[in-house]
Chain A
Amino acid sequence: MSLAKKYPKEVKQILSKYPPEHKRSAVMPLLYLAQREEGYISKAAMQDVAGIVDITETDVAAIVGFYTLYHDKKEGKYRMQVCTDLPCALRGAEQFMDNLCANLGIKVGETTPDGMITLEAVTCLAACDKAPMFQTQGPDGIKYYENMTVDKTMELVEALKKSGTEVK
C-alpha cells in the first residue's frame, strides 16, 4: 500500500513543513516513514516516495545510499549501533564491542540467527562522556543507551528477544 494511503495524516503533516514549491524537502522524513515497519526501504517504496515529492526514483535511491540511517536491505529487527570512534575508544568502546561480539556469537556487521539484532560499528553519536554507548534503530525509532556494560546490554537483548519490542 502506498504511504499516502497508509499514513495520510503523517504525509500531509510532513509536506506542510516546507513551501509547496519545494516539496522535495519532504523526501527525508518520508523515507523515515517508509522505513518504519520493515526496517528498510524497498524499491517500490522508493518509487512511491519519488511520486509524492515529484523527483526521479534515481534521486531517491541516491539519497538512501548517501545517508547511513537509511537501509535498502532487510536485516535484524533492531540495529545495535555501537560508537567506536576516538573518544569512545579512549574509554573502552573497542573492548566493549569485542565482548559484545563474543556474547552475541556474531561479528560486527552480522545478524543474530533469530533475526533480532544486527550489530554495527558506527561513528560518533555525540555521547562521548557516556561511553561505552550505542543506539538501537528499530520499528520504534532510535534510542540511546549510555554508560553501558556488556551485562546490561545482554539483558536488553534478552528483553528484546522475549517481547519483540524495546524496553523503556
Chain B
Amino acid sequence: MEHILLRHRDIPDINTINVYKKSGGFAAFKNAVTKMKPGEVTEVVKNSGLRGRGGAGFPTGMKWAFIDNKNWPHYVVANADESEPGTFKDREIMEGNPFQFLEGVAIASYAVGANVAYIYLRGEFWQVAAFLDEKISEMEKAGFLGEKLFGTDYSLKIYTHLGAGAYICGEETALLESIEGKRGQPRVRPPFPPSYGLYGKPTIVNNVETLTNVPLILANGADWYKSMGTADSAGVKIFSLSGRVRKPGNYELPFGTTFRDLIYKYGGGVQDSRSVKAIMPAGASSSLILVDDDKVLDTPMDYASVRTIGGDLGSASVIVIDDTVSIDWVINKTIHFFRHESCGKCTTCREGTYWMSHLTERIHEGKGSTADVDLLLNVAKQMQGKCLCALGEFSTMAVVTGIERFRKDFDKAVKA
C-alpha cells in the first residue's frame, strides 16, 4: 500500500516544493481557502474520524469546533515536541515530507480562523527547525503563505519555536507556557486551549502526525479516510517500533494491524529469536502488557482493542521487551526518566517520582526487601488521580502494572 504520511518513501524528493506541488500538493489548501467556509473544512475532518496522534486520541474535528469564536485572535500550534521514549515518527515526517505537514498546519489555521501558527519543536530538533524555516520561506515565495492568499482576504504566517529540553512541554498547556517565554509547567485545566490558549487566546494544539493527515483527507474526502482502519480508529497510524526487534523503525499501517504483524512481519521478529515477554504500546507512559499467550499478540492495534488487554495505544510507540529482560530494571529506567522530567509544579508528581526512583533503584541493585516492593506499589497507587497533568499519572503506569503482572521478577530481585 502506498503511504499516506510517509510519502517520501514512495515519492523521491517530495521534500522539495516542486515535487510536492506535482504530487498534488497545496491543492487542498487552495481549494479550502477559495471554495470552502472554515466550518465546512472542520466538518470534513470531523466526518473523517481523525483522532489526535499525540497520544490522547481526541477527535480532531471536534477539537477544532470547540474554538471560541467570541474571542480573537486565534492561534494554531503544532506540537513537535516529540519526547516520549519510544516515539520517533514526527521527526521523520518533518524531514521527509515537510510540505504535507506544513499544508496541514495551514489548513487547520484556515479552519479555525488563525492568521498566525507556531510549530513548537523540542530543542534537540535544532536542525529540523532550520530545515522547516527554509521550507516555510519557499512557501512564502511561492504564494502559499503570507498576505491575501490566492486572491482572498485570508493571510497566514507560520513560525518555528524551539524548546530547550523538557519532556513536559509536550503537554499542551506547558507547551503554551513555554512559547510565552516561561518555564514549561502545565496549567490547571479547564479552561482548555480552544477557549484559553496562547496569550490567553483561543488556540488549537495538534500533533505533527495529526496535521499531516489533513491535506489528503481534504483532497480525497472523509469517506476515503474512514475506509481505512477500524470503526473505532479511522485511518492509518505510524507505529514506532523499538526495543528488542530485528528491524526497529517507523511503520505506517492501518489501525487494527496486530502486534504480531508489526513485530514479526514488519519488524523481522525478536532479536536472537527470543520470545516477547512484555509490550509497552505507548512508550514509557505505558502499562506493561504481559504477553503470556497468543491472544495478546493477535490483538488489533486500535484504541479500543488495546484497552481490552490492559493497556492504551497512546502514541503507538511500541517498545518490545524480550524474556532476557527483568521488569524491575524496566521500571527503574522509566521512573528515572519521569523523575528527571517532572516539572516540580505539583507535589504529588515531584515527590512521588522522587521517592519511587529511590525504591526502584534499591530494588534493582538487590538491596531492597519485599516491603520495599509493596511500598513502591503503594506510592504509585497513592499518586493516581492526584497529579496536575498526565505526566505524573503516566509515571505510575509501568510501576503498577509491572509489579502486579510481573511480581516474580521483583521477588527475584529482592532475594538476589
Contacts and interface: CB of A to CB of B under 8 A. Distances in A.
Contact of A129 (B130, B164, B182, B249): B249
A117 interface: no
Interface centre among B122, B124, B183, B184 (most CB of A within 10 A): B124
Nearest to B343: A66
A55 interface: yes
Interface string B284-315: 10000000000000000000000000000000
Given A86-B284, A90-B325, A126 B88 contact: yes
Interface in B87-116: 87-88, 90-91
Contacts of B284: 85-86, 124
Interface in B72-99: 82-88, 90-91
Contacts of B411: none
A135 B321 CA distance: 25
A85 B333 contact: yes
Contact of B122 (A62, A63, A87, A126): A126
Interface residues of B, number: 53
A43 interface: no
A86 B330 contact: yes
A144 B128 CA distance: 11
B59 interface: no
B337 A144 contact: no
B181 A129 contact: no
Interface in A87-122: 87, 89-91, 122
Nearest to A68: B165
Interface in B118-155: 122-127, 130
A128 B315 CA distance: 14
The dominant DSSP class at the B interface is mixed
A67 B163 contact: yes
Given A66-B184, A68-B164, A85 B249 contact: no
B85 A86 contact: yes
Contacts of A63: 181-183
B127 A128 contact: no
B85 A128 contact: yes
Given A29-B161, A142-B126, A126 B333 contact: no
Contacts of B122: 126
A86 B165 contact: no
B180 interface: yes
B91 A124 contact: no
Contacts of A122: 165
Interface stretch (A18-26, A150-158, A159-167): A18-26
Interface stretch (B187-195, B240-248, B356-364): B240-248
A28 B181 contact: yes
Contacts of B341: 123
A115 to B, nearest CB: 22
Given A63-B181, A66-B184, A142-B126, A28 B162 contact: yes
7 contacts: A66-B183, A67-B184, A85-B85, A90-B325, A127-B88, A128-B87, A141-B130
Given A19-B199, A25-B180, A124-B167, 4 more contacts: A66-B343, A89-B333, A91-B248, A124-B337
